[in-house]
Amino acid sequence: MITMIGQEFRVQLFMVAIVLLLVVVFALRRVIQRRMADRAIRDAPTGTYTADFIQEVYQAELRRAERTGVPFTVALVALRDDGGTRKPLPSDAPAAAAQWLRSNLRSSDYIGRMDEARFALVLPETWEEDARLVMSRIDGSFHYKPRGNGKEQGLTCSVGIATWTPETPDAWSGATKELETALHTPREHTPSELSRIANN
């Protein structure tokens, strides 16, 4: 009798161990799937979203805006070296730029890397006046220290923005046109930039 109870107890323990093992395997699988999904939508060097994912975000915002009538804004940001030459950007410049963009945007805004020197921003539920205010903090130059070189360098950026409205529903094209105009228009230096140039 005692032997049978002992065997039943061992069988029950074995069953509990199997169930716990299955729970652990299932939980690990979910964690791995989440990490793989995150890698698929994140640009590894900058931590921003990929171009494909930011397009999905744009389409989702477009559907929401059409349904609710609440606008959203798209901003496209192009980086260039501060000297105005057409040299390639330093390899760590995109990561520095991504950090700089994050520090100037809301946590609800989306940042995606389109290519080596361009980022796309999707600002949900943002009217044009608010978007222009945010973009005024971004449009211009920022400074960073490249890896392995203590000397601070500057990057210039140009910004194109457009806000969705029922009358102008293609915000992406609007932002693209505005960015192209900004890239071909000589940019005036801000007072702080002029001061820095004079001191060099």
Q: Is residue 108 packed enough to be buried (19+ CB in 10 Å), middle (13-18) or exposed (0-12)?
A: exposed
What is the residue range of 65's domain?
51-199
pLDDT digits (tens, 9 = 90+) for 78-136: 887 666 556 777 888 899 889 989 988 988 999 999 998 899 999 999 998 888 888 88
- 108 and 20 in a common domain: no
Identify whether residues 34 and 57 lie together within a single domain: no
Rg (CA), the chain: 25
Rounded to the nearest 5°, which phi and psi values hold at 137? -80, -20
Residue 110 within any structural domain of the chain: yes
Within this chain, do residues 36 and 60 fall inside the same structural domain, yes or no? no
Please, which residues bridge with residue 45 across strands? none
CB 153 within 8 A of CB 146: yes
Residues 6+ away with beta carbon under 8 Å from 98: 46, 47, 48, 111, 113, 119
Q: Which of 18-32, 36-50, 72-86 has the lowest mean pLDDT?
A: 18-32
Span 51-68, pLDDT tens digits: 999 999 999 999 999 999
Residue 100 domain-assigned? yes
Q: Does residue 185 sit within a domain?
A: yes
Q: Which residue has the higher pLDDT, 29 or 160?
A: 160
Tokens representing residue 131 in the block? 């978007």
Give the per-residue pLDDT at 50. 93
Confidence of residue 145 (pLDDT cuts 50, 70, 90): low
Total count of domains within the chain: 2
pLDDT above 70: percentage of residues in the chain = 70
Amino acid occupying residue 153:
Q
Sheet containing strand 118-123, strands side by side: 110-115, 118-123, 73-81, 153-163, 140-144
CA 195 – CA 22 distance, rounded (Å): 65
78 and 35 co-located in one domain: no
Residues 22 and 109 in one domain: no
